[in-house]
Chain A
Amino acid sequence: QSALTQPASVSGSPGQSITISCTGTSSDVGSYNLVSWYQQHPGKAPKLVIFEVSHRPSGVSNRFSGSKSGNTASLTISGLQAEDEADYYCSSYAGGVVFGGGTKLTVL
């Protein structure tokens, strides 16, 4: 169960859009539409923002969207806000569950 690959960091200015990639293999991301994304602020528990590739839980802003192509999933945050600055993790079903290494989003 190797970790999914995410960029270590991304940044954007308020109002802009950013995309975080999450690359796996044909055994995880590529095989199942069971990719999730989590937001984690420092010292806080993770919060689910996307599940099953592109579904938003109730209460999550529609500025968050997800997609998948082949072995790579993506999280897009549009209209960046200061409160979006956090760590973001992808995960995929793979028999068990495998997480990505995390991406630190900086809002400039």
Chain B
Amino acid sequence: EVQLVEAGGDLVQPGGSLRLSCAASGFTFSAYWMHWVRQAPGKGLVWVSRINNGGDTTAYADFVKGRFTISRDNAKNTLYLQMNSLRAEDTAVYYCARGSGSYGDCWGQGALVTVSS
């Protein structure tokens, strides 16, 4: 069974840092592109970042460029999102998703990140 399990969500103060992880199982992790997508409470889906299967090509939404870093460890079947300089508006459920460069065909259950003092 294909499974994606996010972890690392927490309450963090503005300006702080947090690292999310997404553990993959049930498929060949190294064969797939991966995405991070977020959803603020009561709001819509917003794409955050993408990484290719080899980990050498990444892309980011403009509002996280320079603050967030996506990475992956194919040996550990794990995707990461390092989030620095967090702002209140970064408060959201963060989903990891498996897919191609343009879509996600399998999503995790999400990790809640709350940025507040």
Q: How many A-B residue pairs have CB under 8 A?
A: 65
Q: Given contacts A48-B103, A51-B103, A96-B61, list 8 more A-B pairs with CB under 8 A.
A: A36-B102, A40-B45, A45-B95, A45-B107, A46-B104, A47-B107, A93-B101, A99-B37
Report how far A91 CA is from B35 CA in the complex, Å.
13
**Chain B interface (Cβ < 8 Å from any Cβ of A):** 35, 37, 44-47, 50, 59-62, 95, 97, 99-110
A34 at the interface (CB under 8 A from B): yes
Determine whether the beta carbon of A96 is less than 8 Å from that of B45.
no
Report how far A57 CA is from B108 CA in the complex, Å.
17
Report how far A10 CA is from B14 CA in the complex, Å.
38
The 9 closest A-B pairs by CB, nearest first: A93-B102, A36-B103, A34-B102, A97-B47, A102-B44, A45-B107, A99-B45, A51-B103, A96-B59
Report how far A102 CA is from B37 CA in the complex, Å.
14
Report how far A95 CA is from B35 CA in the complex, Å.
13
Q: By DSSP majority rule, is chain A's interface helix, strand, loop, or mixed?
A: strand
Determine whether the beta carbon of B110 is less than 8 Å from that of A97.
no
Report how far A96 CA is from B64 CA in the complex, Å.
12
Determine whether the beta carbon of B103 is less than 8 Å from that of A1.
no
Report how far A52 CA is from B101 CA in the complex, Å.
11
Determine whether the beta carbon of B60 is less than 8 Å from that of A96.
yes
CB contact between B104 and one of A40, A48, A52 (< 8 Å): that residue: A48
